[in-house]
Amino acid sequence: MEKKLSILMKLWTVEAILNDLKTQTRRPINPQPIFQMTCAPSGLFVWKGEKYSGRMKNRARDKSAGFADCCRYGKIGDELYVKETFYAYGKWERTSAKTKKLGNDKWKFIDLTGKMSVKYFYENDPPKLVQKGISEKVGYYKRPAVFMPFRASRVGIKITNLRAEQIQNISTEDIIAEGLSTNLREHDAECHLREKFSNVWDEINKDRGFGFDSKCWVWAITFEKFLLKNGAKI
172-198: per-residue pLDDT in tens?
A: 999 999 999 999 988 899 999 999 999
Same domain, 131 and 173: no
Domain extent, residue 207, equals 5-82+154-233
Are both 208 and 159 inside the same structural domain? yes
27/53 same-domain check:
yes
What does the pLDDT read at residue 166? 95
Are residue 96 and residue 182 in the same domain, yes or no?
Answer: no
Q: Are residues 67 and 106 in the same domain?
A: no
Measure Cα distances from 172 to 77, 184, 189, 198, 225 in Å: 25, 13, 9, 12, 22
Domain membership of residue 148 (yes or no) is: no
Q: Specify if 22 maps to a domain.
A: yes
36 bridge partner residues: 44
Could you give the number of structural domains in the chain? Answer: 2
pLDDT-based confidence at residue 64 (cuts at 50, 70, 90): very low
Q: 76 and 92 share a domain?
A: no
**Distance (Å, rounded) from C-alpha 79 to C-alpha 226?**
9
Same domain, 131 and 65: no
Task: Name the band, by pLDDT with cuts 50, 70 and 90, for residue 97.
Answer: low
Q: What is the pLDDT of residues 141-152, one digit of tens each?
A: 999 999 999 999
